């Protein structure tokens, strides 16, 4: 049983809203501290769910993004009070490098969050969200996806057999393609038989609701809404004042510290859920 992605075992609405808040706030909160908080906790989270190789690859990728933006932003933006040198009479400034770094961090954070989301929020949950409203469509889509998978496997098998018998030219590929087309029509009919035999097409369909909205779902959702709301409001009233152009400036009040803490809690929720889950799991297993 897959014990990772415990955060996604919660009701889909919870994870959907959570990621929406984190990703959107990540894009709009242009404050270096908030951006760093977002990126660092994204990484903390992926160390709990990805294997080491993937974490390292992601880190390298983000590093590359940041370096790339740090180097290219000065070519396009010449704002900033600290010139390093001049290119064609326009200044390449230290602030534009900072801005590049900041954009890189923001972009990396958003990309990592998006990657995690697309990994864990699979079709099952998407179809849950939409299935309740568009029950029939989600069946069609899920059958279509299944058919696509079958066709892919089939093409691969066919190519395998052909190559074993020495047929690897382009013409063979075209032959295979038309054979697969014919085959897939057959499969479509078989699938439809299987569906009709179980009563599909009789009119109204219900939708099996697997996810129950429990107490912990409510708790997490409340936390997400409150923390997001609070930080958004604080951002709007200027508690997170920060600017890079033309001179680096940051406004830190007591409320700003509070804001940082609130945001950190928000972005660390999935990590907390994963850790709690693995602790509980170890506890149960040791008791057997």
207-226 binders of another protein (CB under 8 A): 207-210
Closest CB to another protein among residues 40, 217: 217
Closest CB to another protein among residues 47, 142: 142
Shortest CB 52 distance to another protein, Å: 12
Total interface residues for another protein by CB under 8 A: 73
Closest CB to another protein among residues 44, 84: 84
**Does the footprint of another protein cover residue 158 (CB under 8 A)?**
yes
Task: Tell me the C-alpha distance between 187 and 198, whole Å.
Answer: 17
**Applying CB under 8 A, which part among 87-95, 218-226, 268-276, 279-287 lies near another protein?**
87-95
Shortest CB 140 distance to another protein, Å: 10
Rounded to the nearest 10 degrees, the angle between the axes of helix 254-286 and helix 12-28 is 150
Shortest CB 256 distance to another protein, Å: 13
Bridge partner list, 249: 243
Among candidate residues 235, 208, 178, the one with its CA nearest the CA of residue 24: 235
Bridge partner list, 92: 85
Closest CB to another protein among residues 54, 268: 54
Residues 269 and 231: beta-carbon distance below 8 Å: no
Phi, psi of 84 (to 5 degrees): -100, -40
DSSP class per residue in 29-73: ---HHHHHHHHHHHHHHHHHHS-HHHHHHHHHHHHHHHHHHHHHH
Shortest CB 88 distance to another protein, Å: 5
Closest CB to another protein among residues 81, 226: 81
Binding to another protein (CB under 8 A) within 17-56 occurs at none
User: Could you say which of 27, 64, 87, 148 contacts another protein (CB under 8 A)?
Assistant: 87
Binding to another protein (CB under 8 A) within 176-195 occurs at 176, 178-179, 182-183, 186-187, 190-191, 193-195
The conformation of residue 6, written as its DSSP 8-state character, comes to G
User: Could you say which of 166, 170, 215, 283 contacts another protein (CB under 8 A)?
Assistant: 166
Rounded to a whole number, what is the largest CA-CA distance in the chain?
76
User: Could you say which of 57, 196, 276, 282 contacts another protein (CB under 8 A)?
Assistant: 196
User: Could you say which of 91, 109, 111, 112 contacts another protein (CB under 8 A)?
Assistant: 91
Among candidate residues 282, 273, 155, 153, the one with its CA nearest the CA of residue 217: 273
- Which x/- pattern over 234-263 shows residues binding another protein (rule: CB under 8 A)? ----x--xxxxxxx-x-x------------
Count Cα neighbours of 157 within 13 Å in the Cβ-side half-sphere: 9
Binding to another protein (CB under 8 A) within 66-85 occurs at 77-81, 83-85
Closest CB to another protein among residues 147, 232: 147
């Amino acid at each position: 049983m897959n014990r990772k992605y415990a955060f996604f075992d919660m009701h889909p609405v919870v994870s959907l809203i959570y990621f929406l808040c984190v990703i959107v706030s990540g894009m709009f909160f242009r404050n270096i501290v908030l951006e760093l908080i977002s990126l660092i906790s994204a990484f903390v989270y992926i160390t709990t769910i990805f294997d080491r190789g993937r974490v390292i690859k992601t880190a390298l990728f983000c590093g590359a993004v940041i370096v790339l933006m740090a180097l290219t932003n000065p070519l396009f933006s010449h704002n900033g009070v600290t010139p390093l040198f001049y290119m064609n009479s326009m200044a390449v400034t230290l602030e534009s490098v900072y801005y590049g770094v900041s954009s890189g961090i923001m972009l990396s954070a958003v990309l990592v969050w998006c990657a995690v989301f697309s990994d864990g929020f699979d079709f099952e949950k998407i179809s849950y969200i939409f299935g309740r409203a568009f029950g029939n469509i989600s069946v069609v889509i899920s059958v279509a996806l299944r058919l696509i998978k079958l066709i892919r496997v089939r093409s691969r098998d066919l190519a395998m057999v052909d190559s074993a018998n020495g047929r690897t030219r382009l013409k063979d590929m075209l032959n295979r393609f038309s054979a697969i087309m014919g085959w897939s029509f057959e499969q479509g009919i078989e699938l439809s038989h299987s569906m009709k035999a179980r009563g599909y097409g009789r009119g109204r369909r219900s939708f099996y609701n697997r996810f129950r909205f429990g107490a912990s779902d409510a708790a997490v959702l409340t936390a997400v809404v409150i923390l997001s709301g609070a930080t958004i409001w604080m951002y709007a009233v200027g508690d997170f004042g920060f600017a890079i152009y033309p001179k680096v400036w940051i406004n830190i009040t007591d409320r700003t510290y509070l804001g940082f803490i609130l945001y950190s809690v928000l972005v660390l929720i999935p990590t907390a859920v994963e850790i709690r889950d693995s602790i509980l799991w170890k506890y149960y297993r040791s008791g057997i």
